[in-house]
Each structure stands twice: as C-alpha cells, then as structure tokens.
Amino acid sequence: MLLLPTLRRWAFLGLLVGAQAAHAAGPALPPEVEAALVRAKLPPEALAVLVVDAQDGRAAPRLAHRAQVPVNPASVMKLVTTYAALEQLGPAHTWSTPVYVEGRVQAGTLRGNVHIQGLGDPKLVMERLWLLLRRLQAQGIQSIAGDIVLDRSAFDVPEQDPSRFDGEPLRPYNAAPDALLLNFKSVVMSFVPDPAAGVARVQYDPPLAGVQRQATVALAQGGECGDWRGALRAELSDPTRMAFQGVYPASCGERAWPIAHPDPRGFAARAVEGMWRELGGQLTGSVREGRVPAGLRPAFSITSPTLAEVVRDVNKHSNNVMAQHVFLTLALQKNGVATFDGAREVLLQWWRARLGDAVAPVVDNGAGLSREERITAQALGRMLQLAWLSPVMPELMASLPIAGVDGTLRRSQSRAGAAHLKTGSLRDVMAVAGYVHAASGRRFVLVAVVNHPGALAARPVFDALIDWTARER
C-alpha cells in the first residue's frame, strides 16, 4: 500500500473544511452557464457544481451551487474506486492467472486435467487467452486426455441478469464481474465486404465452441451506411447460433460490432475450448468448473497489465466491468475472497481515513452503473483536491479523458486540451469531474452533475462550465 504524507494531508483537510464551510453558498452561476441551462431546458435545481482550486485548501470555492446535495454521479463514481485502488494497491499492482497441470505428459498428451484459476484479472482479453494456451502447449501438451477446469472461486458475487439494469443484455457494458473474466464475456463480429462475391465476410473473436456462426451476409450495394446494425437483422439471442436475416451495406467498409454473449456464465468455457481447438489442441474431456486441488503447484502464470494501465482503460473509456474488478480487488487483497460487501467496507474505511468528516459516498458496485450510488459535489471535490497532492496523482490524471481530444470527451465542444475529466451518463444523469487548466496557470477541480429527466441535454452546460473555468486569469 502507498502511504500518504499524513500530517500534510490532515493540515490541508483542516484548512479545506473551514474554507468550504464558510463559503457553502458560493457565487451565482455564471451567465453563460445559466444561458446554457435555459437552452437545454434544465432548471438550475437540476445542477450541482463545484469549482475550487486544486491545491489551495485556504481558497474559497470559485463556484459552488448545490454542492452539498447528494446526487447520482453515474460513471464519475469510478474516480472514487480508481483513486482508492491506486493508493491502496499501488500503480504497479498486477493480477495473475495461474495454470496448473495435473497428471503426466506422454508423447504430447496430458493424462489428466488442466486447471485455470481466475484471480480477477480485468483485462484477460482474447490475445492474452491465446498466449496462455500457447504457453500451455509449450509445456509439451497438444492433447488433453482429461478436462480443462475453470476455477472462479476468488469472486463470491451473485449471478446477475444482464438485462436487469436497462433491458440491454447484449451490450458489453452490462457484463458482470467474474474471477475468470475472458474478453469481457463479449464476441467481436468483424464485417469485411467482398464486392466480387457479393457478400460481407464475418469473423468472430474469440471463436466459441458449440456455436454455429454464419460466415457471410449478403452485401447491399449503393446507399449510405446508416443504421448498418439494424440492416443486418441479427439473431443473437440463441447461445448456440449467430445468424443474420438482412444485408450489410457495402458503403460501410470494414466494421466491428462487439456484443455480450447471451450465455454469460458459459462464455468462458466456450472461449477456452474454441481457442484451444483453433490452436490445434485436442480435448477428450470437457471444459467445466471446479476448484484447484489442494497442494497442486502452478506450472506457470500469466500476468495482467499494471493497475495504472487498467485504470487508464477504466476512466478513459468508462469500462464498467473493469471498474467492478478493481473495486472487488480491494476486498480480495484484504479478505482472500472478493465480495461486494467486503469491497464497500474496504473503500469506506479508506474514505474515512483519508477524508475524515467529508460526507461518505453511497457505494453500490463502484462503477456507477447503479441507481443507488450517491455522492456530493463537495465531497468529490475534496477527494480530487487530495488526489492532486497524492503521489499517485500522475497516474490518476493520465487516466482521465482530455476534453476535445480522446476517450469519452473526444467530442466535447469545450476548449480542446483544457481539461482532464471523467464523464458519466445514465438515464436522467449526466456528470463530469476532474481538473481544468486555466489560462492563469492555476489548476481547478471541477465537479458538475445533472440529475433530471432531461439530463442528456446537459453537454453544452458542461462545455460552458469548462470554458468559464479555463478562462480564469
């Protein structure tokens, strides 16, 4: 665990509490922000906002409007999860996935089982699964006269209905955490037009065992690309069959479509077997779930990217399941098994130790994909001020989307490059939080959240806030 300079932090917090309490009301909303709210048909009561110097705890907030009201932050809650993890686990933390070989290898055949133990790696994507199985073959194994056993016991999390949150079970963002999370439980379908043959060829990654996959779809000549996914008339709800009744527009060129598999629990087994067979491996048994036998030592392990790299994916692209894995890892490291209750307890202990009497957030899954999570703009602003002075500030800052440049802020109409901000959006929620770089050279914390049925119209409001903050001289 990385330790903060304790005395400096507590002195800073004491000054910050006094300054913000004395100026709780703050100045009025800037005229350009009020005008943007009017154009968006949003009342001022829908907005909670705080703008405060990033490092001067004595300074009054430059802007505070409903900053003490608990709001749903959507994916902005990932800031709490990722900052807590960077401090507690350290930026160089990695996840391992050990592989065990049970039995003897004779003439390229293993007389026994292979065990793959998931320990929460949030980025065990197809390419790394391929490398894992290639390393297994490097042990001299081409055929397995037994089973491949998947151990997922490191995560004790309830089964989730992927359609429960918003009725979109095939959207990858609804994938549930899993100790052995392979390729985010998703298949990427790539469409490559072949005009001479009059078809688009379809590639599926990773290959899934026991799934019939349509190799081509009719090509539609002429017209615009438009709603190409709708034109395909895909039939994807059957776990054993992927088919298309429509056409693919030639004008679209090459496109990729990631979807969550309709059988998320069975996805890992299908992916492991499909990839093993594609590599030329043979399997006489099955791929099933089970635990690694006591006393068995791993033949090898593969290692994930560092936490700093994972946090960048989480925040730049707002990856929900990766965020939940980071959150659950807080409990896994402390308790030896990951549960949501355990992760909430660890995070809130960290919050109290670091932020004292700041109103603690209401945490659900740590990713913001929740209707229950709550935080105040003032509390989140205080956390971001602490983060600015933290040894892990460079890693956290580098993970945030840059306004008008990349990640979820690449289409922002605010001053390009002026801000590093995490975004959040749900039905009835829009939010941004992070740091704005002002013309004066000062750095400001900006937290802005809209909770309202018309929240999706709030982007120009946030752009106006970013520009107003950046103009400070």
Q: Are residues 143 and 58 in the same domain?
A: no
Q: Tell me, yes or no, whether 259 lies in a domain.
A: yes
Residues 312 and 399 in one domain: yes
* Beta-bridge mates of residue 124: 182
Q: Kindly state the helix (H) or strand (E) to which residue 415 belongs, with its residue range.
A: none
| 222, 105: one domain | yes
For residue 16, the model assigns a pLDDT of 41
Distance of CA 85 to the CA centre of its chain: 14
Mean pLDDT per 10-residue segment, the chain (473 residues): 33 38 59 97 97 88 97 98 98 98 97 98 97 98 98 94 83 94 97 96 97 96 92 95 96 96 96 98 98 97 98 96 98 97 98 94 96 97 97 97 93 91 97 96 97 97 96 83
Supply the CATH number for residue 56's domain: 3.40.710.10
Length of the chain: 473
Q: If we measure between CA atoms, which residue out of 203, 181, 320, 186 comes closest to residue 263?
A: 186
Same domain, 312 and 289: no
User: What is the model's pTM?
Assistant: 0.91
Which domain-ending residue is among 304, 329, 357?
A: 304
* 287 and 320 share one domain: no
Q: Would you say residue 350 lies in a domain?
A: yes
Residues 85 and 105 in one domain: no
Tell me: do 460 and 336 sit in the same domain.
yes
- Beta pairing partners, 257: 189
Q: What is the pLDDT of residue 17?
A: 37
The residue type of 358 is A
| 24, two tokens | 């709780």
Residue 27: predicted pLDDT: 64
Range of the domain at 199: 95-304
Does residue 415 form part of some domain?
Answer: yes
Query: Which of 304, 335, 353 finishes a domain?
Result: 304
The reply to whether 171 falls in a domain is: yes
Both 165 and 250 in a single domain?
Answer: yes
Q: What is the pLDDT of residue 170?
A: 86
396: left (phi over 0), alpha (psi -120 to 50) or beta: alpha
The verdict on residue 1 lying in a domain is no
Question: Does 82 lie in the same domain as 112?
Answer: no
- Domain presence at residue 223: yes
Domain boundary among the residues 250, 277, 304 is at 304
Q: Rounding to the nearest 10 degrees, give the CA dihedral for residues 59, 359, 403, 320.
A: 160
213 and 263 assigned to the same domain: yes
132 and 15 within one domain: no
Q: Where are the beta strands (DSSP E) in 36-141?
A: 47-53, 63-65, 96-106, 109-117
Both 338 and 291 in one domain: the answer is: no
The per-residue pLDDT for 6 is 32
CATH of the domain at 236: 3.50.80.20
> Helix or strand or coil: residue 434?
strand
- Whether 304 and 96 have beta carbons less than 8 Å apart is answered as yes
- How many structural domains compose the chain? 2
